[in-house]
Amino acid sequence: MKFINLFKRKKSCQVAKDRLKILLISDRINCSPEMMELIKTDIAKVISKYMKIDTENMDIQINAKGSRGSREGKTPTLYANIPIIDLHKM
Amino acid sequence: MENNFSTEKKVSEVIVVTSGKGGVGKTTTSANVGTGLAKEGKRVCLIDTDIGLRNLDVVMGLENRIVYNLVDVVEGNCRVKQALIRDKRHPGLYLMPSAQTRDKTAVSPGQMVKVIDHLREQFDYIILDCPAGIEQGFQNAIAGADRALIVTTPEVSAIRDADRIVGLLEARGLEKMDLIINRMRMDMVKRGDMMSSADVVDILAVPLIGVVPDDENVVIATNQGEPLVGTDTPAGLAYANVVDRILGKEVPFLNFEKTISFWTKVTGIFHRV
């Protein structure tokens, strides 16, 4: 069984890197995951007025551009990826 | 050793050794970098800024020679010179210990800068051992620094704290900083269970100045109160390289894989299956 697990298991180093990347984005921009969730629901509410969107699969994130993000004077950007189910809801 | 201080223009560099997280090796790094610089013939002053929890004196093996400390200097109970302990093993190496019975509020950043400015005239390098955390002790330590060495280990918690420290230092306008990755285990990196130095540098985006392997000789050296920099041990060599890089020399990074013997590799294969 251990032999099979060896192939299945995601290397813990990769897990650590993935966790850190998400952690540091919110640390650096000083924006908590809860706040991101609030922003997400608000955006969904507004867009839903005009078209039918897939709220389950929408994704928003703040990308700090540049190696050290906003500290180097580059502006962080909010990316929203919202799948549209029906463009003409009305 | 060549003595070229008298002809050189006196430009001292104040280096703060910091990490955010505790227990990653700030004090060990301070002791080894300071001792290494002294071995290279530099005049070095180590300052323990961890008031209330002093350790640098113990790591340096100078704990029995403390009379006055940093707080005594700040409060005017003694002159700066009286609080400096000379390390007899290395000419030019001095330690200013911290107070054990006081707390961080006993010193302010302004007072710290004043003490450092006084020491700048007499030393080539002033190494500040910073306490863990980002409170007043940290603020005191970074107040007079020209340059920072950020110590981290390849772990999520240590890297997260290091990132916070980088942010705080940048906000303070302290731009010159370098990264030391401590307790690296190449065997774990190789099997994908530890972040490599490249991974850590990629995440933190701070220039790398040294990778120190996880070496039991560090514990032995601390037991004996004698920094292992320059000795023929993996960590001793790594610290010697850090010292050379601080002095501006180009030194290739060590490949610790060589320290893993063929036999360990063979047995390692059997352990895994």
Render each residue's pLDDT in chain B as its tens digit; 273 residues.
Answer: 444 444 444 589 999 999 999 999 999 999 999 999 999 999 999 999 999 999 999 999 999 999 999 999 999 999 999 999 999 999 999 999 999 999 889 999 999 999 999 999 999 999 999 999 999 999 999 999 999 999 999 999 999 999 999 999 988 899 899 999 999 999 999 999 999 999 999 999 999 999 999 999 999 999 999 999 999 999 999 999 999 999 999 998 877 655 555 655 566 555 544
Q: What is the mean pLDDT of residues A29-52?
A: 84
| For B158, nearest residue in chain A (alpha carbons) | A20
> How far is it, in rounded angstroms, from Cα B225 to Cα B219?
10
Angle at B86 between CA B85 and CA B88, to 5 degrees: 135
Mutate to test the interface with A, among B156, B170, B179, B190 (most CBs of A within 10 A): B156
Query: Residue A75 CB: number of other CB atoms within 10 A?
Result: 9
Q: CB of B126 within 8 A of CB of B15?
A: yes
CB contacts under 8 A, A 23-82 vs B, are: 23-24, 27-28, 67-68, 71
Q: CB of B127 within 8 A of CB of B161?
A: no
**In the prediction, which pLDDT does B49 show?**
97
Number of CB pairs, chain A paired with chain B, less than 8 A apart: 45
For B204, the enclosing helix (H) or strand (E) is helix B197-204
Q: How would you classify the pairing of strands A77-81 and B85-86?
A: unpaired
Residue A49 lies in a domain: yes
Local confidence band at A75 (pLDDT 50, 70, 90 cut-offs):
low
Domain span including residue A35? 31-90
**In the prediction, which pLDDT does A39 show?**
87
Local confidence band at A66 (pLDDT 50, 70, 90 cut-offs):
very low
**In the prediction, which pLDDT does A24 show?**
86
Which DSSP letter does residue A75 get?
P
CATH superfamily of B13-272: P-loop containing nucleotide triphosphate hydrolases (3.40.50.300)
Residue A45 lies in a domain: yes
DSSP A32-54: -HHHHHHHHHHHHHHHHTTSEE-
How close B119 gets to chain A, by Cα (Å)? Answer: 32
Residues of B in contact with A67 (CB under 8 A): 205
Which DSSP letter does residue B81 get?
G
**In the prediction, which pLDDT does B271 show?**
55
- B93 vs A58: which has the higher pLDDT: B93
Interchain pair A24, B170: CB under 8 A: no
- The number of domains in chain A is 1
Q: CB of B248 within 8 A of CB of B242?
A: no
Structure tokens at B49: 């800024």
A18 near B CB under 8 A? no
**In the prediction, which pLDDT does B8 show?**
47
Residue A82 lies in a domain: yes
Query: Residue B263 CB: number of other CB atoms within 10 A?
Result: 8
Residues of A in contact with B196 (CB under 8 A): 13
**In the prediction, which pLDDT does B4 show?**
47
Structure tokens at A54: 């897939």
Local confidence band at A74 (pLDDT 50, 70, 90 cut-offs):
low
Domain parsing of chain B, residue ranges: 13-272
Mutate to test the interface with B, among A2, A6, A11, A17 (most CBs of B within 10 A): A17
Residue A23 lies in a domain: no
**In the prediction, which pLDDT does B254 show?**
77
Residues of B in contact with A20 (CB under 8 A): 156, 159-160, 203
Query: Cα-flanking dihedrals φ and ψ of residue B213, to 5°?
Result: -70, 155
Q: CB of B127 within 8 A of CB of B44?
A: yes
Residue A42 lies in a domain: yes
Q: Is B48 left (phi over 0), alpha (psi -120 to 50) or beta?
A: beta
Interchain pair B160, A27: CB under 8 A: yes
